[in-house]
Every structure is written in C-alpha cells, then in structure tokens.
C-alpha cells in the first residue's frame, strides 16, 4: 500500500472553481483500479495551497491512474487554475 501526496497551489480567486473540479477528479479516482481512499485538504496558513492524500494498493495502480485518459481530461480543467505545477510525493510503510 502506498500514499500519494499531491500538492497544488491555485491562483487567487479560483478556489470555488478549483473545489468543484477537484471533487469531480477525486470521485473519478475513487473508481480507479487499486484506489483505497483519498482526502482533500487546505493549508490553514495558505488557502491557495491544497493537498490531496490518496491511498493506492500499489505504485503501478497509481501510475495507471496518473496516465489515464480520465485524469488527463480532468487535469485539463484544473491545470489553468494552478499558478505552479502540481507536485507528487509517493510514500510507503
């Protein structure tokens, strides 16, 4: 089992639009093979800094979702709202 930390920093004034798109993305990810759980968090000191923590069965399951057409389509909506590239950290026990 692995944890994937996805960090995103959204542009000012786009929080509401981001939240809607991020919820849709998480709902789609929940259907991905090997997905176990996920949560979306907001930094209390920087409301534009968002963190998604997702648990997948294996690195291969995560990579399958990462390169999927569904995720690519969702990121086409999210990417314009970001003021920098998203960052991934993969962790294991």
pLDDT band, residue 8 (cuts 50/70/90): very high
The answer on pLDDT for 93 being more than 90 is: no
Question: Looking at residue 23, what is its pLDDT?
Answer: 86
Within 13 Å, how many C-alpha atoms sit on residue 51's CB side? 11
pLDDT tens profile 79-92: 999 999 999 999 99
State how far the alpha carbon of 41 is from the alpha carbons of 44, 48, 54, 60, 84, in Å: 9, 11, 11, 24, 18
Q: Report the number of distinct structural domains present in the chain.
A: 1
What is the per-residue burial (b if ≥16 Cβ within 10 Å, else e) of 44-56?
Answer: eeeebebebebbb
- CATH number for the domain spanning 14: value is 3.30.70.100
The pLDDT tens digits of the residues spanning 19-66 come to 889 888 888 898 999 999 999 999 999 999 999 999 999 999 999 999
pTM: 0.90
C-alpha 93/C-alpha 4 separation (Å) is 12
Range of the domain at 23: 2-92
Q: What is the pLDDT of residue 25?
A: 87
d(CA 54, CA 26): 9
């Amino acid at each position: 089992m692995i944890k994937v930390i996805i960090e995103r920093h959204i542009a000012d004034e786009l929080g509401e639009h981001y939240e809607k798109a991020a919820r849709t993305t998480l709902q789609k990810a929940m259907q991905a093979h090997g997905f176990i759980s996920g949560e979306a968090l907001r930094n209390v000191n920087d409301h534009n800094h968002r963190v998604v923590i997702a648990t997948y069965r294996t690195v291969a399951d995560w990579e399958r979702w990462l390169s999927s057409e569904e995720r690519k389509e969702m990121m086409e909506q999210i990417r314009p709202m970001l003021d920098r590239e998203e960052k991934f950290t993969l962790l294991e026990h």
